[in-house]
């Protein structure tokens, strides 16, 4: 079974967990005290929050919620770490957790956990791996690959009909998803699509020639509605795009990409009205992994590696630390929101 390269990128996180990453920064935002008064569940579930998937040294996946309005971090659920790529999403409005879990064949399936009753239900049987999980109302949007294919593709699982539907033709094993993001304020999805065959050809060429000037496959960013209907394509280039996030009012986007197959990936600000694109230089960071733009557009949340932490800890612990941070566009200040010496943040998404 050949597996798309974009699935394997997720597996790199597992190696980092084994290195026991540590993260500390001089400026840290303190979460709300556990004994402080908490807003009622209905208020919390309707407020914007980040859903984080974190893996610890005990081979457990912790599913945390970070509430934007209060700065409170909660551990909502915990599962055994068995998937190829630790991945999950908390649906606080409906009190469910959706996550990837390995089956008896070694493949990953979509699982639903009722947070109140702790009842677990396996929703799929034919998937091989899952790269993205986004719960929205009565469906779960996925970027996943089946056991019969090699390309990561868009799909939705209807919770009422209990049916998984892919958004491509059955014979299509070429259109692949490099990244998928969701805007909970407009209920639109943004997928980075490319040709898997073209990608393999160009990556093989760059590796064979040991060349750093080979252009990547054409990547395009497409907006979808929740029914899987393609609404518009607003970006297309010969770039290796690995991340896209769109502001709450769809004024601008953040794009992380590289101009060549083996070039460093950079973060860019992109104006969706004018097409203007600017590189964002953020001193003090070694790497940015995942990004979500704040609802008020004053900054963005991201997981990454701080240069000061990396220099301090990598030599003794054998691996780079990572943490959850906030970057303020106006002040250009980076604030650490969450980091633990025995945990690695694999992914997160913005929901409400």
pLDDT at residue 36 is higher than 70: no
Q: In this predicted model, what pLDDT tens digit does every residue of 162-187 receive, in sequence order?
A: 999 999 999 999 999 999 999 999 99
DSSP string for 124-178: -SSEEEEEEEEEETTEEEEEEEETT-SS-EEEEEETTTTEEEESS-TT--SEEEE
Mean pLDDT estimate for the chain? 86
Residue 289 CB neighbours (<10 A)? 17
Q: Alpha-carbon distance 214 to 83, whole Å?
A: 33
The dihedrals phi and psi of 10, each to the nearest 5 degrees, come to: -65, -30
Domains of the chain, CATH where assigned: 5-35+42-351 (2.120.10.30)
**In this model, does residue 26 exceed pLDDT 80?**
no
Q: Which of 9-23, 40-54, 102-116, 237-251 has the lowest mean pLDDT?
A: 9-23
User: pLDDT tens digits for 68-86?
Assistant: 999 999 999 999 999 999 9
pLDDT at res. 31 = 42
């Amino acid at each position: 079974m050949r597996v798309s390269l974009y699935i394997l990128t997720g597996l790199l996180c597992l190696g980092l967990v084994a290195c026991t990453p540590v993260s500390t920064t001089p400026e840290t935002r303190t979460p709300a005290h556990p004994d402080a008064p908490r807003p009622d569940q209905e208020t919390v579930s309707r407020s914007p929050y980040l859903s984080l998937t974190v893996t610890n040294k005990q081979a457990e996946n912790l599913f945390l919620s970070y509430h934007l309005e209060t700065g409170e971090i909660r551990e909502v659920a915990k599962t055994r770490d068995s998937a190829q790529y630790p991945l999950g999403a908390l649906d606080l409005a409906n009190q469910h957790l959706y996550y990837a879990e390995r089956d008896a064949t070694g493949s990953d399936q979509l699982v639903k956990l009722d947070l109140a009753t702790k009842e677990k239900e396996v929703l799929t049987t034919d998937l091989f791996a899952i790269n993205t999980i986004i719960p929205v109302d009565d469906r779960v949007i996925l970027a996943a690959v089946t056991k019969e294919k090699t390309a990561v593709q868009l799909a939705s699982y209807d919770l009422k009909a209990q049916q998984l539907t892919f958004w491509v033709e059955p014979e299509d094993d070429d259109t692949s998803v490099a990244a998928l993001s969701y805007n909970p304020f407009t209920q639109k999805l943004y997928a980075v699509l490319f040709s898997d065959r073209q990608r393999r050809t160009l990556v093989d060429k760059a590796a064979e020639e040991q060349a750093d000037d080979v252009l990547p496959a054409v990547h395009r960013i497409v907006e979808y509605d929740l029914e899987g209907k393609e609404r518009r394509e607003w970006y297309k280039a010969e770039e290796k795009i690995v991340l896209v996030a769109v502001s709450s009012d769809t004024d601008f986007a953040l794009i992380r990409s590289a101009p060549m197959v083996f070039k460093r990936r950079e973060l860019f600000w992109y104006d969706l009205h004018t097409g203007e694109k600017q590189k964002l230089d953020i001193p003090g960071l070694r790497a940015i992994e995942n990004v979500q733009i704040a609802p008020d557009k004053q900054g963005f949340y991201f997981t990454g590696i701080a240069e000061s932490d990396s220099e301090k800890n990598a030599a003794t612990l054998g691996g780079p630390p990572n943490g959850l941070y906030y970057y303020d566009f106006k002040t250009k200040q980076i604030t650490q929101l969450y980091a633990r010496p025995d945990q690695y943040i694999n992914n997160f998404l913005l929901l409400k």
